[in-house]
Structure 1
Amino acid sequence: MTLLEDFHAQIRLAGREDEPRPGMVQDTDGPVRRTWSQDPAGFAMVECPAGLGEDPDHWIARQVDFFAGRGQELEWKTYDYDEPADLLERLRAHGFTVEDDEALVLGEVTDLLHPVTAKGVRLRLVDVADDGAFAGIADLHEIVWGRRDGHTQQLREELRRTPGTLDVFVAEAAEPMQVGPVVGSGQAVGHRVEVGQVVCGAWVRYSPGTDFCSLWGGTTHPAARRRGIYRALVAQRAQRASERGFPFVRVDCSPDSLPILTRLGLERVATTVPATRTP
């Protein structure tokens, strides 16, 4: 089997796209696998790893009705090998907005174990009791993305309840840094980074009973870019995954991360495209 076939069998067909998390429901509706927050303001994602059968529009309409009835925004995660081949066109016809492409990247954890020195930062594993680290990740996301949401708190609760399926790392500034102007919180501002401030947060999730771990996060402060921090945190997470016995790694990555990961030895094996619908 190819690595993509292993991934499809062990992760997608087995319903392991997401491990069980606090406050999240994982269920199926016919051929559709669903992961959704019990809070309608939270995340909802569906996919169809085995295709949608003879009446795709029936199953699409059922998901639209279900999540619209909850007043919940929905993401349909598509892979370029999903059936039917015209899935994205059908989703558009049901009111979905097709977002930017992402790359599914797979490879061996050992390819990522090369030591990397990141300049001007300290890397460390985060304990669930570390208020400062989680607050720092939330602050970082507000600076970079212009919004502060509940994702960081959900991440912390996930670590508290299921510590065997998640490790969180941060990079903290070991020296002052400065950049400006950048766009943050809706306006162009300069940013100074103080010693001890979180400049990158990244985590690795494990799928027990499979061969796969997955890398997430990696948002980096504008003042801390081009210092090798992302690559160093990839190596840190790979080392942790290797110690836990996971031979393969999966990343859903942006165009910014793709060149870094392919240079490290991972391979782009598919394209994923999210389609979103607001009720």
Structure 2
Amino acid sequence: MTQRETKARLLAAYDQQLRTDAETPSALEVTEHGPLRLATFLGGRGFITYRDLGDADEQSVRRLVEEAVGYFQAKPEIIKVEWKTRGHDHAPGLHEALLHNGFTQDDPESIMIGEARALSVDVPLPDGVTLRQVTDEADVRAMSAMQDEVFGEPVSDEMADALLRRLSLDDSMELWVAEAEGHIVSAGRLEPVPGTDFAGIWGGATRQEWRGRGIYRALTARRAQSALVKGKTLIHSDSTEFSRPILERSGLLKVSTTTPYRWARG
């Protein structure tokens, strides 16, 4: 099979298996509106996704955007909304309609997919660095704070609270960290997707002074090994330009792009 054929096969599996309620495992509420899935999360967060928009034209796309914004505007507890777009979708006029309705565009990310066994390799760690899975509240909050700092965001309880809620639901999510000298220097989570071949690797972050030493690769390999134990054969991730080259070297392929658009109340 050529690489082009492999990419097409992986992208078809992504569309068929992941663009369902698999995208919103911790949502408080999910409402279907035409092809759209409108999800509400803790912390006043809204999320809009869909498998596809069918044969929608520009007029119907504009109407869908307006109706989705109206839905969340009518929920006073919602303070921000993300609309998740994919580069391979047929969605005429979507970019313009989102901007017209108050969304701002984030940087695009690469949709990476590959065989879990390609990632499941032995990666040597620097001296003094260890990997472990965390579940205790103090560890989860320390992990979340480190990720906020690495991503240049104010340290907040929002993500930690959401992760702790998911751990309480026992939905098979795993949180993994790399530690050195008693401090978390890298972290990421594994999200096996029930009823599919997939597990997602998310939230990968490494402190700048610890980059380039193979720690993120080792953390990724350990998550892939755990995915295989759970019977998951495919790994997927939305990757920034920092992590994409690492995943490509491990055998994952870029099959498309995803770009978030964000709306904030007021």
Counterpart in 1 of 2:5?
none
Matched, 1:29 2:29: no
Q: TM-score, normalised by structure 1?
A: 0.84
Matched, 1:58 2:63: yes
3-state SS of 2:21 partner: coil
How do 1:103-114 residues align onto structure 2 when only pairs under 5 Å count? 103-114=110-121
3-state SS of 1:82 partner: coil
CA contact 1:168–1:204 (8 Å) conserved in 2: yes
Q: Distance in 2 between matches of 1:45 and 1:206?
A: 20
Which residue among 121, 133, 145 is the counterpart of 1:125?
133
CA contact 1:49–1:82 (8 Å) conserved in 2: no
Counterpart in 2 of 1:217?
203
Counterpart in 2 of 1:89?
96
- Aligned residue pairs: how many? 250
Which amino acid in 2 is paired with 1:259?
Answer: P
Which residue among 152, 158, 165 is the counterpart of 2:166?
158
Q: CA deviation at 1:2?
A: 0.8
Task: Calculate percent identity across the aligned residue pairs.
Answer: 31
Q: Distance in 2 between matches of 1:103 and 1:268?
A: 6
Q: CA deviation at 1:94?
A: 1.8
CA contact 1:46–1:75 (8 Å) conserved in 2: yes
CA contact 2:62–2:94 (8 Å) conserved in 1: no
CA contact 1:133–1:198 (8 Å) conserved in 2: no
How do 1:3-82 residues align onto structure 2 when only pairs under 5 Å count? 3-12=10-19, 14-19=20-25, 21=26, 24-37=28-41, 39=42, 41-51=43-53, 53-54=56-57, 55-70=60-75, 71-82=78-89
Gaps of 5+ in 1: 174-194
* RMSD of aligned Cα (Å): 1.7
Q: Distance in 1 between matches of 2:52 and 2:91?
A: 10
> Structure 2 vs 1, CA of residues 143 and 72 (structure 1 numbering), >3 Å: closer, same or farther?
closer
Which residue among 208, 214, 236 is the counterpart of 1:228?
214
CA contact 1:48–1:82 (8 Å) conserved in 2: no
Q: Distance in 2 between matches of 1:271 and 1:242?
A: 25
Counterpart in 2 of 1:182?
none
Matched, 1:244 2:230: yes
> Structure 2 vs 1, CA of residues 278 and 157 (structure 1 numbering), >3 Å: closer, same or farther?
same
Q: CA deviation at 1:146?
A: 4.0
Q: Deviations over 1:178-229 (max 9, x none)?
A: xxxxxxxxxxxxxxxxx21111121100111111110011111223222211
Instruction: Please identify, of 221-230 and 142-151, the stretch whose mean Cα deviation from structure 2 is larger.
Output: 142-151
Matched, 1:256 2:242: yes
Which amino acid in 2 is paired with 1:234?
Answer: T
> Structure 2 vs 1, CA of residues 48 and 132 (structure 1 numbering), >3 Å: closer, same or farther?
closer
Q: TM-score, normalised by structure 2?
A: 0.88
Q: CA deviation at 1:82?
A: 1.8
Instruction: Please identify, of 99-108 and 78-87, the stretch whose mean Cα deviation from structure 2 is larger.
Output: 78-87
CA contact 2:110–2:239 (8 Å) conserved in 1: yes
Q: Distance in 2 between matches of 1:213 and 1:219?
A: 18
Gaps of 5+ in 2: 1-7
Instruction: Please identify, of 257-266 and 27-36, the stretch whose mean Cα deviation from structure 2 is larger.
Output: 27-36
Q: CA deviation at 1:278?
A: 1.3
| Structure 1 residue runs of 4 or more that deviate by more than 3 Å after TM superposition | none
3-state SS of 2:251 partner: coil
